[in-house]
A and B are shown apart, each in its own frame.
Chain A
Amino acid sequence: DAMVIQNPRYQVTQFGKPVTLSCSQTLNHNVMYWYQQKSSQAPKLLFHYYDKDFNNEADTPDNFQSRRPNTSFCFLDIRSPGLGDAAMYLCATSRDDMGGLNNEQFFGPGTRLTVL
């Protein structure tokens, strides 16, 4: 089945120790997103790739970076995780060909990050 895969499902890191979360998709979608979701809150968009074009949300901290080496993979790098970065990180994809972001997004199962 075509899907969005996130690894690992659970990640524990230490305060200040860099961590990378990965996302892959078999849907061949051109847009990939990274969301941060804290407990009992709505997902918050960090950034997205429209094809190869990177789009950062204005309030995304510099501590968060992303890479998309090819259509199928996207990585979230947290350079120096703080306690406040503990959250669920959701990857999503969509197929959008008209310049907008209006089609349904397909989400992965998420990676729950714990910062000690």
Chain B
Amino acid sequence: AQKVTQAQTEISVVEKEDVTLDCVYETRDTTYYLFWYKQPPSGELVFLIRRNSFDEQNEISGRYSWNFQKSTSSFNFTITASQVVDSAVYFCALSEDSGNTPLVFGKGTRLSVIA
């Protein structure tokens, strides 16, 4: 069965600090997809990234970067030089390739960036 663990429930950082959000997943499939979503106070989930299991290259998008390591089943998300607007709940999610399996979310990490 698939499972996503986000061990950090809440994190607080001061503006301009770097912060890493951890995500560890479990799956028996060899083909799967990993996602990060951001949920700001307004409530809408915003898609950030999708990564398939065959692509282990790290990705950088502006201040955001993702570190995918199959050896440790982790897909960690780093925000560099955090800003107050980054304050939100961040969800990591997993989708297996086999059949009609839905997205499984982790419990989320609430990030507070303090000015």
Contact = CB atoms under 8 A, between A and B. Distances in A.
Interface of A: 33, 40-43, 45, 48, 50, 55, 57, 88, 90, 92, 99-110, 112
A41 B106 CA distance: 9
B107 A105 contact: no
B43 A110 contact: yes
A88 B45 CA distance: 12
Contacts of A92: 45
A100 B108 contact: no
A67 to B, nearest CB: 19
A55 B100 contact: yes
User: On chain B, which size bracket covers the interface?
Assistant: 20 to 34
B99 A100 contact: yes
Contacts of A106: 47
Given A43-B105, A99-B99, A107-B44, 4 more contacts: A100-B95, A102-B95, A105-B45, A109-B42
23 contacts: A40-B108, A43-B45, A43-B105, A45-B102, A48-B102, A50-B100, A99-B99, A100-B95, A100-B97, A100-B100, A101-B95, A101-B102, A101-B103, A102-B33, A102-B95, A104-B35, A104-B47, A104-B50, A107-B44, A107-B47, A109-B42, A110-B43, A112-B43
Contact of B102 (A40, A57, A104, A110): A57
Contacts of A42: 91, 105-108
A103 B103 CA distance: 10
A109 B45 CA distance: 7
B84 interface: no
Interface string B64-108: 000000000000000000000000000100010111111101111
A33 B104 CA distance: 13
Nearest to A4: B44
